[in-house]
Amino acid sequence: MEQNEYSKNAHDMIYLVSCALNGETPDRSRIDSMDLDKLYEVSQSHVLSACTAYALESAGIHDHNFTQAKEKAIRKNILFDTERKKILGRLEKEKIWYMPLKGAILKDLYPKLGMRQMSDNDILCDKTKRKKIRIIMKDLGFTMKGNASNVDEFTKPPVFNFEMHGDFFNIDNAGANNAYNYYKNIRSRLIKDKDSDYGYHLSDEDFYIYLLAHEYKHYCAGGTGIRSLADTYIFLKKNKDKLNHDYINRELQKLGMVEYEAMNRRLSMKVFGNEPLTAEDREELEYYILSEAYGTVSHNIDNLVNKVAHGDKRKYFFRWLFPSMEHYKKHFPWAYKHKWLIPAAWVFRILRGLTKRRKRVTASAKYLVKEINKR
């Protein structure tokens, strides 16, 4: 879909999502002018098709694609709730502390079941019990799909994807180094659940700060979509009179996120509160729109070019192909220690990118070459 057309349909989606979040019935005449197939495509890319479906149905529109998306989201929410209880039950039995994160909490703040769609469930667990947690997940029928320094990812048919975190952030996450250090000793901030022996939760203030930190990680990398603005809006709408903003601002200063929070809060409240947008607001909103749900290759590269090469795409492309010694020190310590192995590490890096991450590496290379040839 061409960019202007995508943006037009995204604005239609935002209008309908706003109606759903605020319990309002959308204008039927405006819906009649929408292309529902293209609206569905955009809604899917922002993982907001179920929310949009609720708005359409309130106006008497029952489109097959949207109805299917809503029913699938409801079913998935119910299945995830049931499976998560099984996992947490096993963690309780094994005396391993835990805390559900993000979507598992946010979904209950939305007005209706399934309105907040999820692709996975994240759970923070005692990282000293990582091997035991892997055994538990295997016992429950899960297969480990992948892992990083801070998380193991597990999948199981028909729809389950659980990420078991030892830390909130990986030190390599773009834009998240402050967050990694800030959350290294998160246990001291956790509050004991009253209805379990090993379950914990965050205060509303700390949950909001974590939500922002997670969004900011994506915002600084490939971008973050309209659903993140909806999450912010719903959370603030539910907690606007309860939050200790002095505490939040002090902590945001430590994370270097004061300006981001102010922009994100202002934009979310304006967009879903149907307030007029300034030219600056519209520019920021367009970044969210074109980022889709989890960010895009072009946004990711543009952000990295500005961060690493001060806007010079040719310089970044060279650095992308031939990384610095710091890269080898962090990712290939065996080659950094024995410099004569660096050519082998370079070949291994390329081959790994063309096998495990072929689509993203290919897309990145094409985008960089296209941008360089513009000059």
Q: What are the structural domains, with CATH classification, of the chain?
A: 1-62 (no CATH), 77-173+193-198 (3.30.460.40), 202-295 (no CATH), 300-373 (no CATH)
Q: What are the pLDDT digits (tens) for 38-49?
A: 999 999 999 999
**Which pLDDT score, from 0 to 100, does residue 294 have?**
47
Entry pTM: 0.81
On the 0-12 / 13-18 / 19+ scale of CB atoms within 10 A, 109 is middle
What type of residue sits at position 216? Y
CA 349 to chain CA centroid, nearest Å: 26
Strand, helix or coil for residue 155:
strand
| Residue 54 Cα distances to 18, 97, 175, angstroms | 11, 37, 35
**351/336 Cα distance (integer angstroms):** 19
Helix/strand/coil percent split, the chain, to 5:
65, 10, 30
The pLDDT, as a whole number, for residue 325 is 76
Q: Which residues contact 181 (CB under 8 A, 6 or more apart)?
A: none
**Does pLDDT of 360 surpass 80?**
no
Q: pLDDT tens, 163-218?
A: 999 999 887 654 566 888 899 888 999 999 999 999 999 999 999 999 999 999 88
